[in-house]
Amino acid sequence: MSMDPAAELPFFYGSISRTEAEHHLKLAGMADGLFLLRQCLRNLGGYVLSVVWNLEFYHYSIEKQLNDTYCITGGIAHCGPAELCEFYSKDPDGLVCPLKKPCLRSSDTPIRLSLFDSMKNNMLREYVKQTWNLEGEAMEQAIISQAPQLEKLIATMAHEKMLWYHGKIPRQESERLLYCGAQTDGKFLIRDREESGTFALSVMYGKNVYHYQIIQDKSGKYSIPQGLKFDSIWQLVEFLKLKPDGILTVLGDACVCTAPGKLPSLPTTRRTGPNSYTPAPQAATAKAVRPVSEEHVLPMDCIGFNPYHNPNEIKKLNLDRNKLFIDEVELGSGNFGCVKRGVLETKTGQLDVAIKVLKSDNEKLMKEEMMREAEIMYQLSNPFIVRMLGLCNAESLMLVMEMAACGPLHKFLSSNKDTVSVEEIVNLMHQVSMGMKYLEEKSFVHRDLAARNVLLVKRQFAKISDFGLSKALGADSEYYKARSTGLWPLKWYAPECINYRKFSSKSDVWSFGITMWEAFSYGGKPYKKMKQAEVNSFIESEKRLACPAKCPERMYALMQECWIYKHEDRPDFKKVEEAMRSYHYSISNKVKPLGAVAAAEPDMYP
Ligand code: ADP
Ligand code: MG
């Protein structure tokens, strides 16, 4: 999961309260300029800087901006919490004094995880499992590829899974629930207010129940009127457990909701068995719980056939022709024949499929080739690789695959230049690297990785396709040696492929670099005006494709690594995927939380 960018700082304490921060500073001697950093309990990704001056405490909140920078309100922006602290150690720039001495965490004081930090992995898994009906490897892959977006989703929806959240119940009902059992001060619940779609907090105090409206401002932040503002309901609740900000008492015990659908991983005595929550039907849940706007739809939000699932049950080498309906619409064509769209009838319903139909002339050779392609695809099962559903031998030989309705990546990007962001391209290329890492692990070489062979199931969901040239490497061989050259995509090929006809996962890495270049140039043609012989000498003289205009530096640096001349020195897909993942996570944080816009909020308080 993505790590806290402050985790490496020796003066970072994690999710501690203000009182605890002051306690640490006292123990460390209260010198002027003594400081520590802690997680903000109210803003996701924000911090608080606690500083001592003149034997007093000053707490400055640091907000994370949408462009991934950090700043103290009114101060200048910094690219990370470390840089921010370094800056204020040289220049007080509005603080009471410069940061002089870090209050270091002792070895027996680990960084405190917030409630969310400690729960989010479990919550994420439960959420993905329940909402998209994914399990096992498919679930893990889905989580890796979408972790930043999922974390955000979980952060804003997590309250729905909390035991204190009762959904839409009338005010009287909330009172009845609170009066039941022990009437301890601070016993509370959160409910949806019937009329307005906002929330209410109902709290027991002195044997009476009090109701507070929770309002949401224009930027999406939650608060009790006149109280502090929070990014999420659960943060507000956690904060009010520590401090009665504008209410009569701190929150105490949760008045437990016994409706199904709560996370079984939360501490609870209510749980009766491993399946005591009800997994709702996939599509219905997806609609019911999430605000769906095109921008925020996750790859898993696919209707009908779930391309994350392992469809082994329908992977057949002799599909019944009567179950297959072929459209006249051609999705693409090549010298093998053409790819048509169609529908496959299965036990679980109708699936949209793409059907590679063999041309009838030159049959025998072509047939063998298609059989080999099918044989390779048959062995592959990964969310980021187009799945083969079966073969059908009828009027011609047909390879039936899951449908990737948005077509090849290069075409999609060149016709949607204005709307597709660099972040989205990074996300897609990370998915491609995950698929390639899988191939590398299984010892397959693709040999035709290019943007034209990356197909989109939807705008946020890419899959590798076209295994026409692919080979399974033998158990003990690092590479495949072609006996002779063929119709090869030479501009995508590494020097060892061109010079020695040697193909390995490392030569696929070279092609991945070219594919990245195509993607970041929005479907541009590599070495556009050059003949192949010119490309060869260009590469031999250590020249490489230039950085596309909108391409981030780190992505171009990765491309250049993919184009290291000697394959021994080139990274493998394990490394490439790591690099793509860490960049994807680092920039996805600046995608705004669901339904919220930026709001600077003055908040500087001793
Ligand atoms: P070729 O070996 O001729 O490149 P491909 O397998 O790449 O064959 O398919 C050719 C074209 O058919 C692709 O560029 C794409 O437009 C379309 N196509 C292939 N497979 C699918 C699929 N699963 N879903 C949607 N379109 C597809
Ligand atoms: Mg192709």
Full 3-state SS string of 570-593: CCCHHHHHHHHHHHHHHHHCCCCC
Q: Quick one: three-class SS letters along 40-60?
A: CCCCCCCEEEEEEECCEEEEE
pLDDT tens sequence across 387-441: 999 999 998 999 999 999 999 999 999 999 999 999 999 999 999 999 999 999 9
Show Cβ contacts of residue 219 under 8 Å, excluding neighbours closer than 6 positions: 596, 597, 598, 599
Atom in ligand 1 nearest the alpha carbon of residue 402:
23
CA of 556 relative to ligand 1 center, distance in Å: 28
CA of 297 relative to ligand 1 center, distance in Å: 25
CA of 441 relative to ligand 1 center, distance in Å: 24
Where is pLDDT greater, at 186 or 113? 186
CATH number attached to the domain at 1-113+594-606? 3.30.505.10
Residue 276: pLDDT above 70?
A: no
Report d(CA 45, CA 117) in Å as an integer. 11
Neighbours of 436 (CB within 10 A): 29
Neighbours of 520 (CB within 10 A): 23
Report d(CA 454, CA 465) in Å as an integer. 6
Residue range 422-584 in CATH 1.10.510.10: yes
Which letter, b or e, does each residue of 437-468 get, where b requires 16 or more Cβ atoms within 10 Å of its Cβ?
bbbbeebbbbbbbbbbbbbbbbbbbbbbbbbb
Look up residue 13 and give its amino acid.
Y
Phi, psi of 481 (to 5 degrees): -110, 120
Residue 26: pLDDT above 90?
A: yes
- Ligand 1 mutation pick, 326, 331, 344, 453, max ligand atoms within 8 A of CB: 331
Residue carrying structure tokens 């040999």: 447
Atom in ligand 1 nearest the alpha carbon of residue 453:
7
Where is pLDDT greater, at 181 or 271? 181
Domain ranges in the chain with CATH number 3.30.200.20: 321-402
Report d(CA 111, CA 36) in Å as an integer. 12
- Report which listed range, 59-73, 209-223, 282-296, 580-594, is most confident: 209-223
For residues 183 and 249, the answer to whether their CB atoms sit within 8 Å is no
The verdict on whether 361 is a catalytic residue reads no
pLDDT at 313 (0 to 100): 58
Pocket of ligand 1 (CB under 6 A): 331-332, 334, 336, 339, 354, 386, 401, 403-404, 407-408, 452-453, 455, 465-466, 468
pLDDT at 293 (0 to 100): 43
Strand partners of residue 267: none
Q: What is the mean pLDDT of residues 194-217?
A: 92
Report d(CA 25, CA 598) in Å as an integer. 32
pLDDT at 4 (0 to 100): 81
CA of 81 relative to ligand 2 center, distance in Å: 46
558: part of which helix (H) or strand (E)? helix 553-562
- Per this entry, what is the length of the chain? 606
Residue closest via CA to ligand 1's atom 16 equals 332
CA of 229 relative to ligand 1 center, distance in Å: 51
pLDDT tens sequence across 540-565: 999 999 999 999 999 999 999 999 99
Phi, psi of 445 (to 5 degrees): -110, 135
pTM for the whole thing? Answer: 0.75
Report d(CA 142, CA 134) in Å as an integer. 9
Residue 501: pLDDT above 50?
A: yes
For residues 503 and 497, the answer to whether their CB atoms sit within 8 Å is yes
8-state DSSP, 395: S
Q: Among residues 231, 448, 466, 508, which one is catalytic?
A: 448
8-state DSSP, 321: G
Number of H helices, E strands in the chain: 15, 23
Give the tokens for residue 40: 């903000």
Edge-first strand listing for the sheet containing 199-205: 165-168, 188-192, 199-205, 208-216, 222-223
First-to-last C-alpha distance (Å) of the chain: 34
The 3-state DSSP class for residue 246 equals coil
pLDDT at 310 (0 to 100): 55
Report d(CA 262, CA 268) in Å as an integer. 10
Of 170, 168, 229, the C-alpha closest to 603 is: 229
Residue closest via CA to ligand 1's atom 25 equals 404
Query: Ion ligand 2 — residues with CB under 5 Å?
Result: 453, 466
Q: Quick one: three-class SS letters along 288-311?
A: HHCCCCHHHCCCCCCCCCCCCCCC
pLDDT band at 277 (very low <50, low <70, confident <90, very high): very low
pLDDT tens sequence across 474-484: 878 889 999 98
Phi, psi of 443 (to 5 degrees): 60, 45
- Cα 576 to Cα 203, 449, 548: the distances in Å are 52, 15, 19
Instruction: Give the number of whichever ligand sits closest to the CA of residue 356.
Output: 1
Residue range 321-402 in CATH 2.40.30.20: no
Domain ranges in the chain with CATH number 1.10.510.10: 422-584
Residue closest via CA to ligand 1's atom 6 equals 466
Domain ranges in the chain with CATH number 3.30.505.10: 1-113+594-606, 159-240
Fold entry, domain 159-240: SHC Adaptor Protein (3.30.505)
